[in-house]
Amino acid sequence: MKNVKKILSISLVAVMAVSMFTGCGDDTATSGERKLTYWLGNSVSSAVSDYNDAVALQKMQESIGIEVEFIHPSSALWEEQFNIMLASGDLTDIIQYNWGTKYNGGYDGALNDGLIVDLSDKLDKMPNFKKILEENPDYDKTIRTTDGKLLYVASFNNDLVINSSMGPMIRKDWLDKLGLEVPETISDWYTVLKAFKEKDPNGNGQADEIPFASYKSPAFNWFAAAYGTKKGDVYVKNGKVVYGTTQPEFKEFITEMAKWYKEGLIDNEFAALEKSVMDANMTNDFSGATIAYVGGSMGAYLSAKKDDPNYNLVAAPWPAKTAGAPNYIGTQLNRKGGGDVGSVITTKCKDIDLALEFIDYSFGEEATDFQNWGVEGETYTVENGEKKFTDFIMKNPEGKSPTQAINPIAFTAYGTPPRVVDGAAYSQIQYSMPQQAEASVLWSKGDDSLMTDLWPMTAEEKERVSAIKTEMTAYEDEMYTKMVMGIEPVEKFEQFVAEMEKFGVKELESLYQTAYDRFMK
């Protein structure tokens, strides 16, 4: 079962493999051996093919003396395999999953269905995690149910710099060549992208530039923030919770994006493109700007072009709609953790104390070092009490970027089972280049009115939210894309809003309003 990922890649074999998903109740557990099974859904990264091979997790198991078998299907199969596991009743000891939105009724629903263990009275057996909750009451509130129960654990960010990881980026060398400044308003962006389209910044004598790179998860969605709204999310507007896509401001945003698309400023094939194509456009001198992550995108692009002295990619600020207007931050900078994805102990686990021991150890100082820094003396050193990555990571002899070098070893730059995410390690890896460090500061500046906390909901509320979104989102995305592409006129926006109301968007706002009001009390 070592290489479960490969086994699960064939659905017929996967069905047969369900019987192998054994919990603490198997023969090895009752013989006194310290063994656990840990199922991971929607957390597998291309950075590591098998979590059982991750050096950090191996070191943790050696130190604590608990053997953990990590089981994870491919990203294409994880929901299917989760349902198969549930149907069999053969649950692993610990499961990480998007319980909050993917399971009917969320965590409360899983508890009511007898699948997971209530951890509320077990905090004394998790001193590391208990300390984090006591020192961070907002984080504590976000991971509890509406009646105060603790049903799961989720990663905790010890530094909010981690959240300033995404924003607009643009080719500074192209700007310099055309005598332009980094754009600060939507009008500035239009001027710059128009120049990228018409003035041959890649210098090949052909009109082949695609000014703004995007793909089928549209990067330009985030420009909605300039208009004081969001795509597909709620925020608080004048004390009331509203759904961003149906606000009047969103019509203004779509109108501008439709204009950009019509004039060829946005990749006209974005609706069908994979991210790899967008990445190629950014490194092959076809595209000059996008909105993306500081590590996996900006860092990757700069690393790929490190031998090109002319290539320079820098951050642009979150744009204002017009000069003097607020520039709203488009990402969530205020969240220290929580959310819909978390790890639970299942009711099939017969050695709950062992599972609690491993989970709590994951939040301790030693495990935090393993998971964020790797192996002392190999991937990092300690000088005057401060940790620093070694040249093996920062100046990798094989030419790998810091992110690529650390990925098989530690979880500095991508998801993993819940743990403390160390901002110091994250910053050294993700902001290893001056452009990245500057980006993290720039993207954290602006009006934070669009930020929201994670408001716990009841099982019934979550179930209803999930049902509404399931019905509504496909229509929302389809019409949004069509209006941007000019297939449907933007003048149909009011009809679009009316249809969204039929799908239940007003009820959705009301459900979030109830959760928000309860959270604020």
Alpha carbon distance 297, 300 (integer Å): 5
Alpha helical stretches, state H, 50-154: 55-64, 78-88, 99-102, 106-112, 127-135, 137-142
DSSP structural state of residue 205: S
Q: Taking Cα atoms as reference points, which of 66, 81, 86 lies closest to residue 4?
A: 81
Query: What pLDDT does 501 receive?
Result: 97
> pTM for this one?
0.76
CA-to-CA distance for 41 and 10, rounded, in angstroms?
17
- Pick the more confident residue, 322 or 330: 322
Please check whether residue 213 is in contact with residue 219, taking contact to mean a CB–CB distance below 8 angstroms. yes
Pair of tokens at residue 484: 């941007």
pLDDT band, very low/low/confident/very high, at 413 (cuts 50, 70, 90): confident
Q: Give, in words, the CATH class of 166-330+455-520.
A: alpha beta
Residue 247 tokens read as 């606000």
Which ranges in 235-375 belong to alpha helices (H)? 248-262, 275-283, 300-304, 352-362, 365-373
Give the C-alpha distances (Å, rounded to integers) separating 460 from 100, 464, 469.
Answer: 12, 6, 14
Select from 315, 323, 331 the least CA-distant residue to 186.
323
* Residue 258 pLDDT grade (very low, low, confident, very high; cuts 50, 70, 90): very high
- Note the Cα 65 to chain centre separation in Å: 31
Looking at CATH, the fold of the domain delimited by 4-158+338-432 is given as: D-Maltodextrin-Binding Protein; domain 2 (3.40.190)
Q: What is the mean pLDDT of residues 206-225?
A: 94
Residue 253, both tokens: 């945003």
| pLDDT tens, residue by residue, 460-514 | 888 899 899 988 999 999 999 999 999 999 999 999 999 999 999 999 999 999 9
Query: In this predicted model, what pLDDT tens digit does every residue of 261-285 receive, in sequence order?
Result: 999 999 999 999 999 999 999 999 9
Whose CA is closest to 86, among 67, 69, 99?
99
- The H or E element that residue 388 is part of is strand 386-389
Cα 95 from Cα 340, distance rounded (Å): 13
Q: Give the full edge-to-edge strand order of the sheet including 94-97.
A: 67-71, 35-40, 94-97, 342-345
Structural tokens at position 415: 């998801």
Q: How far apart are CA 369 and CA 374, in angstroms?
A: 6
List the chain domain ranges.
4-158+338-432, 166-330+455-520
In the predicted model, is pLDDT for residue 360 greater than 70? yes
**C-beta of residue 260 within 8 angstroms of C-beta of residue 194:** no
Return the CA Rg of the chain. 24
Do 4-158+338-432 and 166-330+455-520 agree at the fold level? yes
* Residue-level pLDDT at 336: 78
pLDDT tens-digit readout, 155-186: 999 887 778 889 999 999 999 999 999 999 99
Distance of CA 486 to the CA centre of its chain: 30
Read off φ and ψ for residue 373, nearest 5 degrees: -115, -25
Whether the Cβ atoms of residue 408 and residue 54 lie closer than 8 Å to each other: yes
| Chain segment 292-318, per-residue pLDDT in tens | 998 889 989 998 999 999 999 999 999
Q: What burial letters (b/e) apply to 216-225, b meaning 16+ CB within 10 Å?
A: eebbbbbbbb
What is the C-alpha separation between 28 and 492, in angstroms, rounded? 63
**What pLDDT score does 99 carry?**
86
